Amino acid sequence: MPYRDLQHFIEVLEQKGLLKRIKAEVSQDLEIAEITDRTTKKGGPALLFENVRGQSMPVAINLFGTNERMALALEIETLEKLPERLGSILALAMNPPTGGFLEKIKTLPKLMEMASFMPKSVSGGMCKDVILKGDQVDLEKLPILKCWPEDGGRFITYPLVFTYDPETGKRNVGTYRMQVYDKRTTGMHFHWHKDGARHLRKSKEPLQVAVAIGCDPAMCFAATLPLPPDVDECLFAGLIRQEGTRLTKCETLDIDVPANSEIILEGTVDPTERRREGPFGDHTGYYSLEDDFPVFHVKTVTHRAKPVYHTTIVGPPPQEDGFIGYAIERLMHPLMKMQIPELVDYHMPMEGVFHNLMIVSIEKRLPGHDRKVMKTIWG
């Protein structure tokens, strides 16, 4: 049965003995991150910090911090079976049929399966139990973490950022860290090559942006996938959970967001505005340096009646993102094989922070074949 929301997944983790509740008082500045870092590196459980100093919301972290929990989140036995369930659908979504009539007919069953899990519009949702606007908005009331001593401030590290292409109207959901500057302003770490940045460059006025914090596991995973612009993350989340994503309209934006979210931030990003962001403790064990990035102005905050703040740590492996990365690696294997038929398997180990190193096995057929594969991967 699909997870109703993030808190349903937390309940299942606890029932299976995979989550630990921390009732002692802790600080959102460094302490939660230090405890979680130690726990993750020992292969420990998901954590729910119930007593964050000066805050009313509990903090959920390390929910996906083992292969077992990642598989549970995606409702499969093991991550190795992920390609069997979703690989062919992902390949079809990223490479639609272009051949003759017969070839297109063969894909109809998969296309019909995809259509049955399209996002669904609903009125309202628990993410709107509480609505705060204008002067009521105060990001300091969220237990946003400072993870490393030299970080430039507190960062939202698992936001699902919703934007629309100003020209085509196509939606994108990505994860971009957000440094908190004050009660109603954050950074928006749009990388130049990412879809969010592309939407911002196209916009001739402040870009509407909605941020969901604390979605069900399928939506959290879909937002991290390297999907092309034509593949909707909300649709893919529906394929993962075998149930369409329920979306509701924002209070002040023309943007649809998951109705089962814990927290929604609504606001705008001005394409002409930049502000200093960082430093930020990163995957490699070094700090990303300060640089100028777009600024997110929060106009409205909505959340469920008793929300849980969902977050993660970015830092030297093993960390939670490494297990998410391994799930992505397994999912993308059939697509890689379509592009490189001689590929036997590949692995992106945590020691390479899962995107700086790839080990590839191929069926070598001719001299220099390994170089051909290497250049294809680099391309």
Active site residues: 282
* Dist CA 258 CA 293 (whole Å): 26
* Dist CA 240 CA 108 (whole Å): 19
Neighbours of 375 (CB within 10 A): 9
* Dist CA 215 CA 211 (whole Å): 11
Name beta bridge partners: 47: 20, 61
* Dist CA 245 CA 125 (whole Å): 12
What residues contact residue 224 under an 8 Å CB cut-off, 6+ apart?
A: 175, 324, 328
**Of residues 374, 378, 372, 350, the one with CA closest to residue 360:** 374
Q: Is 48 exposed, middle or buried, given 0-12, 13-18 or 19+ CB atoms closer than 10 A?
A: buried
* Dist CA 117 CA 134 (whole Å): 36
> Are 127 and 257 spatial neighbours (Cβ–Cβ below 8 Å)?
yes
> Are 74 and 218 spatial neighbours (Cβ–Cβ below 8 Å)?
yes
* Dist CA 196 CA 212 (whole Å): 15
**Of residues 168, 263, 135, 265, the one with CA closest to residue 210:** 265
Query: Is the bond preceding residue 367 a cis peptide, omega within 30 degrees?
Result: no
Residue with tokens 């929604």: 264
What residues contact residue 35 under an 8 Å CB cut-off, 6+ apart?
A: 22, 26, 47
DSSP letter, residue 341: T
The residue count for the chain: 379
* Dist CA 308 CA 56 (whole Å): 9
Q: Both tokens of residue 250?
A: 């924002």
